[in-house]
Amino acid sequence: FGMGIDKPDVRFVIHYDMPKSLESYYQETGRAGRDGGEGRCIAFYSHKDIDKLEKFLQGKPIAEQEVGMQLLQEVMAYAETATSRRKFLLHYFGEEFDEVNGPGAMNCDNSQNPPTLVDRQEEVHVLLSAVLEHKNKHRMGFYTSLLTATKNRQMEDYGAVDSAFWGRGKEEDIEFWQGIVRQTVVLNYLAKEVEKYGVLHLTDKGQDFIASPGRLMLANQRDFSDVDSGDSLAQTRGESGGALDPKLRGMLTDLRKEVSSEKGLPPYVIFQDISLDEMATHYPMSPDELLRITGVGSGKAAKFGEPFTTLIKKYVQDEGIERDDALLVRSSGSKSSNKVTIIQLMDRKMNLDDIAAGIHGNRDQVLDEIEAIVSAGTKVSLDHILDESLDEECLEELFEFFTESEDEGLASAMDEFDDVYSEEELRLARIKFLCEVAH
């Protein structure tokens, strides 16, 4: 977008991730079907899209943050709404629409396959009351663990097991409560504080609901676990069609758990999920083939690879699977020019600001690239950067936490060290941790 598309007969507009506002979405989808013909608009949505866009707001003036957050809330509401998407979008711009008989009705996914709506008055009241009880101090992960009685280091540190809300929602799982939190944010019962990395606090509307609860219909989370995979991505036994083999994937997950327990390391340090997915798709049976898997470098292959290739080789033989060797050729363009530049500048002991200038970006973009480099299996040296902010004692404390944590991301670390380390310091420490123990 923004490239001056001047064709009236565009048939598809596909958003790989969500834009920062509904105004942008409306303008971009409006490129389709300007000749009066059919236009299909497909959007892929993940909560990570919103997290990324929220991150871009940090450090901006408060007034700009407030406007940006409001726009993001509308994008979330659109993506997660259970109503007609056309009705929602037109209503946002001040127009009315008959979702049953209006032109273009019944075209969106919600109209064709409406989700089940359930009265969640009790669940929302419990959630909002928990936020009030804990003084609006925590992020979503705290409350989902609290309500499901999920024991982890954060729960222990905050003494959450003594809370009146410990296990109040344990009949449901964490994913259920994540859905409740997101919908209450969309409906403005809760709000996220950008500068505090998504800390939840009650809105006036949420306070009113606690005082006087009423019927509240929320959409059930869609469950795709029972979708018939026979015609889609299931691996046909005896043929390697490039689709993930679920049976092998489960075996690899179990093996990773065994190895992580034996080594005293979190499972994601052994191999990340994306690496296991590729192994269960391409069946690497030798060290050289394993090196073609995303996230596997020579160090990691030497440290952890042997039991995995042994298991895969036995599985392929036992199941009579014929591999397609072409699938084991990794693209030679895996290192962007930015990544090469960053590695060169780090070797020259440049600091983050100088590296950012070298790629015409900012510090966050540099860290994103370094994380991608390390995840792809390359070890980097960043002691000269860490020395600016973290001493040996700090790193020892953080390494101990990362060793015990099973969280592949940073959420639990930010919860644990909210007032101690910045997000940048945590990211740098995690990168060094992965370089030392995983490569």
Residue 330, pLDDT above cutoff 90: no
Give pLDDT tens digits for 242-278.
Answer: 567 889 999 999 999 999 989 888 888 898 888 898 8
Domains of the chain: 117-219 (1.10.10.10), 246-328 (1.10.150.80), 337-438 (1.10.10.1390)
Q: What are phi and psi of 293, to 5 degrees?
A: -85, 135
**C-alpha 36, offset from chain centre:** 37
Both structure tokens of 15 = 């958003």
The mean predicted confidence, pLDDT, of the chain is 82
Summarize pLDDT for 40-92 with one digit per residue, the tens: 999 998 878 888 888 777 766 666 777 788 788 788 888 887 778 888 888 77
pLDDT of residue 197: 58
pLDDT (0 to 100) of residue 410: 76
Residue 194, pLDDT > 60, answer no
User: At 4, is the pLDDT very low, low, confident or very high (cuts 50, 70, 90)?
Assistant: low
* pLDDT tens, position by position, 150-178: 988 778 878 889 999 999 999 999 889 98
More confident residue, 422 or 124: 124
Residue 166 CB partners (closer than 8 Å, separation 6+): 146, 149, 160
Q: Distance (Å, rounded) from C-alpha 312 to C-alpha 295?
A: 18
Helices and strands (DSSP H and E) totals, the chain = 22, 6
Torsion-angle region of 264 (φ positive above 0: left; ψ -120 to 50: alpha; else: beta): left
Question: Is residue 229 predicted with pLDDT exceeding 60?
Answer: no
**Is a pLDDT exceeding 80 seen at residue 19?**
yes
Residues in Cβ contact with 372 at an 8 Å cutoff, skipping those fewer than 6 apart: 339
- Summarize pLDDT for 208-224 with one digit per residue, the tens: 999 999 999 988 765 53
User: Rounded mean pLDDT of 392-402?
Assistant: 89
Measured over the CA atoms of residue 362, residue 365, residue 371 and residue 373, the dihedral's sign is: negative
Q: Is the pLDDT of residue 236 over 50?
A: no
d(CA 304, CA 406) in angstroms, rounded, equals: 18
Compute the distance between CA of residue 191 and CA of residue 114 in angstroms, rounded to an integer.
27
Q: What share of the chain is helix, strand, coil (3-state, %, to 5)?
A: 55, 5, 40
- Biggest alpha carbon–alpha carbon distance for the chain: 67
Residue 408 has pLDDT above 80, yes or no: no
Confidence of residue 333 (pLDDT cuts 50, 70, 90): very low
Residue 89's pLDDT is 86
